[in-house]
Amino acid sequence: MSVPRGTLVSLLHLAWPHDPMTAPPSPPSPPSSVARAAPILEAALSELGVEPTPALVGSLAALAALLESWSARIHLTGHKTLEAMVQGLIVEALAVERAMPSGLASIVDVGSGAGFPGLPVALLRPSCRVTLLEPRERRHHFQKAAIRDLAVGNVRALRGRSGTAPATPYAGAIAQALADPGVALGWLRDWVEVGGYAMLALSDPWREFTVSPDFEPIAPIRYQVPLTGKRRALWLARRIR
The domain spanning residue 44 has which CATH number?
3.40.50.150
Helix-helix angle 54-71:137-150, to 10 degrees: 150
82 and 62 Cβ atoms separated by less than 8 Å: no
Q: Which helix (H) or strand (E) holds 197?
A: strand 192-203
Instruction: Kindly give, in sequence order, each residue whose CB lies less than 8 Å from that of residue 76, ignoring residues fewer than 6 positions away.
Output: 67, 70, 113, 114, 138, 139, 142
Residue 125 lies in a domain: yes
CA distance 6 to 171: 28
Q: What is the pLDDT along the chain (241 residues), one digit of tens a residue?
A: 333 433 333 333 333 444 444 677 887 767 799 999 999 999 999 999 999 999 999 999 999 999 999 999 999 999 999 999 999 999 999 999 999 999 999 999 999 999 999 999 999 999 999 999 999 999 999 999 999 999 999 999 999 999 899 999 999 999 987 668 888 898 999 999 999 999 999 988 888 889 999 999 999 999 999 999 999 999 999 999 9
Residue 6 lies in a domain: no
Please give the pLDDT value at position 204: 85
Residue 111 lies in a domain: yes
Note down the domain range covering 221. Answer: 25-239
144 and 21 Cβ atoms separated by less than 8 Å: no
Residue 194 lies in a domain: yes
CA distance 184 to 152: 27
Residue 18 lies in a domain: no
Residue 211 lies in a domain: yes
CA distance 152 to 129: 11
Asked if residue 126 has a cis previous peptide bond (ω within 30° of 0), the answer is no
Residue 11 lies in a domain: no
199 and 172 Cβ atoms separated by less than 8 Å: yes
Q: Which helix (H) or strand (E) holds 36?
A: helix 31-48
Please give the pLDDT value at position 21: 46
Residues recorded for the chain: 241
Q: Which residues are 133's β-sheet partners? A: 110, 158
Instruction: Kindly give, in sequence order, each residue whose CB lies less than 8 Å from that of residue 55, ignoring residues fewer than 6 positions away.
Output: none
Q: Which helix (H) or strand (E) holds 222?
A: strand 215-224
Instruction: Kindly give, in sequence order, each residue whose CB lies less than 8 Å from that of residue 57, ignoring residues fewer than 6 positions away.
Output: 38, 41, 42, 45
Q: For the chain, what is the domain count?
A: 1
Residue 41 lies in a domain: yes
